[in-house]
Amino acid sequence: MSKPTYSRAQVQANDGTGGKPAWMIVNGEVLDVTKFAGGHPGGEKAILDYAGKDATKIFYSLHRHEVLEKRLQRLKVGNVEGYDAKSAPQTWKQLSPVPYAEIDMNQSFYNESHRRWRLVVREWLFDEGVLEWSETAEMSGEYPTKELFQKCGRAGLLAVFQGVGPHLSRVPEPNLFTKAGIKPQDIDLFHISIAVEEHKRLCCPGAEDGIASGISIGLGPVLKFGPKWMQGDLVQSILLGDKVICLAITEPYAGSDVAGVLATAVKSRDGSHYVVNGTKKWITNAVFADYFTTLVRLGDSKDLAMLLIPRTEGVTVRSIPTDYAMSAGTGLISFENVVVPADHLIGKEGEGMKYTMCVCCQTAFPRD
């Protein structure tokens, strides 16, 4: 049902005095702030001073547009007759005039390419339905679909979450880089930071992790230390969203004590494969991942190794409810006599702890 339309005189009459409700105009919408004012972070007076008035200018000097779109719609009672909102931001996509709301607008080390990049990423998330999906998934617990992963992958967003490096050049054109007029080799850490900021503006942490968490920490060891065969079609399929990877380190028995993992990998006598047994818990993206970058103990020794384990026979994943959202696909993984080919070893035996410590810093160690 559409909201009614009010004249400015009607809004002015509801100025919060004499027991009357407190209405105000923001971007052509009439908001009833009578009850809201008491809990306003800036204090009740900051709201009631604008009761009965058009507060659009002051609102946009203090708030992003999405505060109106996503947070204050419950206060809307109607619209104002003949309102011209040309001076106010119209959508979630536009830059905010709020001082320091857009960090790159006030910092000398951000250049024009960074500003173009921010708008391109922001508009893409909005126009391609990622924002809309995130808001729905956060409430329903829906997992990212294969189509969504592929859309993010082919746009280059998944590659960006992996950080700066030559892998960015592996995303076929057209992509977000070309749309922003930026060459992959010119992407720097500020571009990466901006993409992460825009992704976080979805304000849906479960959905955000569902899209980005697995690749951002699970692919690094493969890219940096994985054997040559992994660098081809396997890595490409992950960068483009055709396959999903996650990092499987934490265990019920060894949470923050990473060096105390009990999952084991026993190498066969002929050296052709490992047999993996153990449990990993609280693994983000595990429910829908195709590959698990897994820290294991080599038999009963103190040595640790990292294996890339595909979802195969003997791998069972159970969903774990979390406090924020099911759409992140957090799970418990059971490995029961899982046969993993020896060439799925990442790096060298005994160096699993080193790779674990640098999964979030892709430049920490040079490639052998």
Whichever domain contains 70, its CATH number is 3.10.120.10
Residue 366 within a domain: no
Pick the more confident residue, 301 or 72. 301
Give one DSSP letter per residue of 74-91, joined into a string: GGEEEEETT---TTS--S
Residue 287 within a domain: yes
Per-residue model confidence (pLDDT) at position 67: 80
Instruction: Compute the average pLDDT of residues 91-100.
Output: 71
Instruction: Compute the average pLDDT of residues 300-327.
Output: 94
Angle at 315 (CA atoms; ends 309, 319), nearest 5 degrees: 110
Pick the more confident residue, 246 or 68. 246
pTM: 0.79
Residue 362 within a domain: no
Write the DSSP symbol of residue 158: H
For residues 224 and 147, state if they share a domain. Answer: yes
User: Could you say which of 224, 239, 254 is where a domain stops?
Assistant: 239
For residues 234 and 121, state if they share a domain. Answer: yes
Grade residue 87 by pLDDT with cuts at 50, 70 and 90: low
How far is CA 271 from its chain centroid?
A: 40
For residues 19 and 116, state if they share a domain. Answer: no
How many domains, the chain? 3
Question: What b/e sequence results for 82-100 when a residue is b if at least 16 CB atoms lie within 10 Å of its CB, and e otherwise?
Answer: ebeeeebbeebbebbbbee
Distance, in Å, from the CA atom of 256 to the CA atom of 253, rounded to the nearest integer, reads 10
For residues 217 and 159, state if they share a domain. Answer: yes
For residues 256 and 227, state if they share a domain. Answer: no
Residue 95 within a domain: no
Residue 235 within a domain: yes
Grade residue 363 by pLDDT with cuts at 50, 70 and 90: very low
The boundaries of the domain holding residue 307 are 245-357
For residues 207 and 292, state if they share a domain. Answer: no
For residues 115 and 76, state if they share a domain. Answer: no
Per-residue model confidence (pLDDT) at position 89: 57
Number of residues assigned to the chain: 368
For residues 70 and 113, state if they share a domain. Answer: no
User: Could you say which of 65, 80, 95 is where a domain stops?
Assistant: 80
Residue 368 within a domain: no
Q: What is the CATH number of the domain that holds 336?
A: 2.40.110.10
User: Could you say which of 213, 239, 265 is where a domain stops?
Assistant: 239
Pick the more confident residue, 61 or 137. 137
Residue 91 within a domain: no
Angle at 271 (CA atoms; ends 270, 272), nearest 5 degrees: 95
For residues 234 and 280, state if they share a domain. Answer: no
For residues 214 and 249, state if they share a domain. Answer: no
pLDDT in tens, 245-282: 999 999 998 777 888 999 999 999 999 999 999 999 99
Residue 279 within a domain: yes
For residues 186 and 304, state if they share a domain. Answer: no
The stretches of the chain forming alpha helices (DSSP H) are 8-13, 44-48, 56-62, 65-66, 112-127, 130-140, 146-155, 157-160, 176-179, 189-200, 205-218, 220-225, 233-239, 352-357
For residues 249 and 346, state if they share a domain. Answer: yes
Task: Flag the least confident range among 8-12, 52-56, 255-259, 283-287.
Answer: 255-259
